[in-house]
Structure 1
């Protein structure tokens, strides 16, 4: 059994109320929620939230009724891992059975397509890692054009290789972690304390689908990209 999960906090410092804000004709959360309900490999869906309105909305659409997220997991500093652990345990209790994969979609990353979910699940099934995490190729590279100040305040390349890297194409490939899709083995989620303790494999998506809504201006950008995506131009 594959459990689809969305974590949605009530508060947002950058964009208040963003998770239920309308975008391209429906609430932001529904771009992820509807995709989980429609995907043929997802057997059950749960939304972990401290927001009463979003919770009632999700349950009315068919999400598991696990109650609101505990207050300790609804703060700015609450780790995603702890939220996932609680949602998995509460969902297995509600279902009366264990699940075989915990599939999480970030609510603030609505540009994914169904094939992103299918591909991540396929990688999880074929390679049997502890976790699959979506990534895109990084726009900036720490071996080439990411810099940081040294103890004197002078800028240095963040990651130095012998002889240096003088062309972007020569730099080792690095990824950006994006919230498109995660697939986690339940036993790993229960036993580990953080994401990277085990074998975590990258599932690469195009960078155009890696945009996340964190700031007010992100809504306009993602609104435009959603329109392009739905028109088949992305």
Structure 2
């Protein structure tokens, strides 16, 4: 069973109520939830939330009825890993079968395509890592144009190499962790305590599909790009 998962906590300081906020005609969560429910490789879907309205909405659309997220997993500081572990265990119990892959979509990254989900699943099945994590090429590179001050306040390249790097193209490849799409081996999720304990490999996505809504500006940008993609007027 490939288990699709979305985490949607009620609280949000940057954009209040963002997970259920209308985005181009439907709640933001539905841009990800509909992708899971409609994807041919996803066998079951679960939404982990402490918001009763989001929970009832998700179950009505076809998500497994696992109940609300425990309070200790609904705080600002609750780690994603613990939320995943609880969601998978509860979903497996509800569905009556074990997961063969845990597929998480971040509902604050609504610009991914269904083909991105397929690509991440294909990479997971082909390479058999502990985890596939979506990334995009970093706009700034610590070997070239990210700098930090020393104890005197003077700036230096964050990760200097012998001889220096004087062209972006010559710098080692660096990725941004894109909060969009993850595929995790269930046994790894059960035993590990954090994301990077095992073999985590990158699934590269275009930067324009990896924008994560964390501020009102992000929401406006995503809305503009989504309207453009949908061919809607402003």
The TM-score with structure 1 as length reference comes to 0.97
Classify the secondary structure of the residue corresponding to 2:41: coil
Q: Which residue of 2 aligns with 1:224?
A: 224
How many angstroms does 1:188 deviate by?
A: 0.1
Per-residue CA deviations over 1:22-73 (Å, capped at 9, x if unaligned) read 0111000000000000100000000000011101100111101111000110
Q: Distance in 1 between matches of 2:192 and 2:173?
A: 27
Q: Which residue of 2 aligns with 1:109?
A: 109
How many angstroms does 1:156 deviate by?
A: 1.3
Q: Which residue of 2 aligns with 1:28?
A: 28
Q: Distance in 1 between matches of 2:230 and 2:209?
A: 12
Q: Distance in 2 between matches of 1:228 and 1:122?
A: 29
Q: Distance in 2 between matches of 1:74 and 1:150?
A: 38
Q: Distance in 2 between matches of 1:42 and 1:7?
A: 16
Matches within 5 A, 1:26-105: 26-105=26-105
Q: Distance in 2 between matches of 1:66 and 1:41?
A: 21
Q: Distance in 2 between matches of 1:80 and 1:160?
A: 32
Q: Which residue of 2 aligns with 1:213?
A: 213
Classify the secondary structure of the residue corresponding to 1:217: helix
Q: Distance in 2 between matches of 1:109 and 1:9?
A: 14
Per-residue CA deviations over 1:157-208 (Å, capped at 9, x if unaligned) read 1111111111111100100111221000000000011111101110001111
Q: Which runs of 5+ in 2 are unaligned?
A: none
Matched, 1:2 2:2: yes
Q: Distance in 1 between matches of 2:125 and 2:179?
A: 20
Classify the secondary structure of the residue corresponding to 2:3: strand
The runs of at least 4 aligned residues of structure 1 exceeding 6 Å deviation read: none
How many angstroms does 1:229 deviate by?
A: 2.5
Classify the secondary structure of the residue corresponding to 1:33: helix
How many angstroms does 1:224 deviate by?
A: 1.0
Classify the secondary structure of the residue corresponding to 1:87: helix
Q: Which runs of 5+ in 1 are unaligned?
A: none
The TM-score with structure 2 as length reference comes to 0.97
Q: Distance in 2 between matches of 1:149 and 1:49?
A: 41
RMSD, aligned CA: 1.0
